[in-house]
Amino acid sequence: MMFLFRLLASLPLPLLHGLGIVLGWLIYWAPGRHAARMRNNLVDSGVCAPGRDCRRLLRQAIGESGKGIVELATVWLRPHDQVVKLVRGTTGWDAIDAARAAGKGVILLSPHIGCFEIISLYCASRHPFTAMYKPPRQPALDALMLAGRQRGQATLVPTDMSGVRALLTALKRGEAIGVLPDQVASSGDGVWAPFFGRPAFTPTLVASLQRKTGAAAFFVAAERLGRGRGFHLHVFPLDGLLPEDKVAAATRINQSVEAIVRRFPAQYLWSYNRYKRPGGAPPPEGEAAA
């Protein structure tokens, strides 16, 4: 695996993205639930008109999903300074720098859009950055991910209470932390909230951390530029504090993610099983328990 990733990392990004398009289609045609989930999530979201519009967007999303896999070799294995230079520009990042300069902690919310892996490395080139990390089952992949993500001023912490305490401490120090706002929450840290009209088990951690620290929260999307030119980071401030009510806070986060997805629909990870029910979680309201 390491040999393959190092080989891919040595390729120019335009060529790598070309290979990614091919890979995206191979995965889409492979047996399994991937293709059906991708189609259903895209159509059910309502971001495209049924028929030709959705078919065109689906084709684009298939290619973008493959790019997202192969570009990990570049993001994780190239020298940190070279990776940071792949960010060709930013929109709104000044607000993050201003919050840090004012002594506020910063919560970066990075949906599964474009090259979301590069956001933490870019931030860690400018500020201390902490994020949770759940090791994969394969030791080789674990070593690769750790080496790729924990660079610059980045620190990874466990996905348990010690990790939560580390995030809280980082915010109180006026540092930055990163959270994936559209991942499926664990059974003990989530509530059901609508996401594109369907109940999705949504994390409540962000609202809790923000209320305890007064941190500023920003959504960041890493747009993948065409023809392998690199990436552009778009920053969207979350105005004010999230509501104390957990469902209201989760709903507001999901609405913000929806708005960003509508801006970059082809680059959202539609194959992600966003609507699954984790073990131990209650059923959505109105749905009978299993």
The pLDDT tens digits of the residues spanning 51-68 come to 889 999 999 999 999 999
Among residues 177, 178, 214, 197, the alpha carbon closest in space to that of 251 is found at 197
pLDDT (mean) for 119-143? 92
**pLDDT above 60: residue 146:** yes
pLDDT at 285 (0 to 100): 81
Among residues 94, 164, 84, the alpha carbon closest in space to that of 130 is found at 164
Q: Residue 189 — very low, low, confident or very high, per pLDDT cuts 50/70/90?
A: confident
Terminal-to-terminal C-alpha distance of the chain = 40
Dist CA 138 CA 151 (whole Å): 21
Please check whether residue 156 is in contact with residue 149, taking contact to mean a CB–CB distance below 8 angstroms: yes
Among residues 201, 183, 203, the alpha carbon closest in space to that of 116 is found at 183
| Furthest-apart CA atoms within the chain: distance in Å | 52
Dist CA 53 CA 94 (whole Å): 36
Lowest mean pLDDT among 49-53, 93-97, 240-244, 257-261: 49-53
Bridge partners for 193 per DSSP: 200
Q: Residue 288 — very low, low, confident or very high, per pLDDT cuts 50/70/90?
A: low
Bridge partners for 132 per DSSP: 157
Contacts of 30 (CB under 8 A, 6+ apart): none
What is the number of other CB atoms lying within 10 angstroms of the CB of residue 41? 21
Q: What is the pTM of this model?
A: 0.95
Task: Report, in this order, helix, strand and coil percent for the chain, each rounded to 5.
Answer: 50, 20, 30
Dist CA 272 CA 183 (whole Å): 9
pLDDT (mean) for 162-167? 96
pLDDT at 121 (0 to 100): 98
Among residues 104, 42, 107, the alpha carbon closest in space to that of 274 is found at 42
pLDDT (mean) for 234-261? 96
pLDDT (mean) for 241-266? 97
Dist CA 178 CA 132 (whole Å): 8
Q: What is the mean pLDDT of the chain?
A: 95
- pLDDT more than 90, % of the chain: 87
Dist CA 211 CA 191 (whole Å): 17
pLDDT (mean) for 181-204? 94
pLDDT at 2 (0 to 100): 75
Please check whether residue 27 is in contact with residue 70, taking contact to mean a CB–CB distance below 8 angstroms: no
**pLDDT above 80: residue 1:** no
pLDDT at 13 (0 to 100): 97
Q: Residue 193 — very low, low, confident or very high, per pLDDT cuts 50/70/90?
A: very high
Contacts of 166 (CB under 8 A, 6+ apart): 130, 155, 157
**pLDDT above 80: residue 158:** yes
Q: Tens digit of pLDDT for each residue in 223-242?
A: 999 999 999 999 999 988 99
**pLDDT above 90: residue 172:** yes
Alpha helices in the chain (DSSP H): 2-9, 13-29, 34-45, 52-77, 80-85, 93-101, 117-124, 139-149, 161-172, 205-213, 246-263
Give the pairing type, strands 231-238 and 216-224.
antiparallel
**pLDDT above 70: residue 184:** yes
Helices (H) and strands (E) in the chain, counts: 11, 9
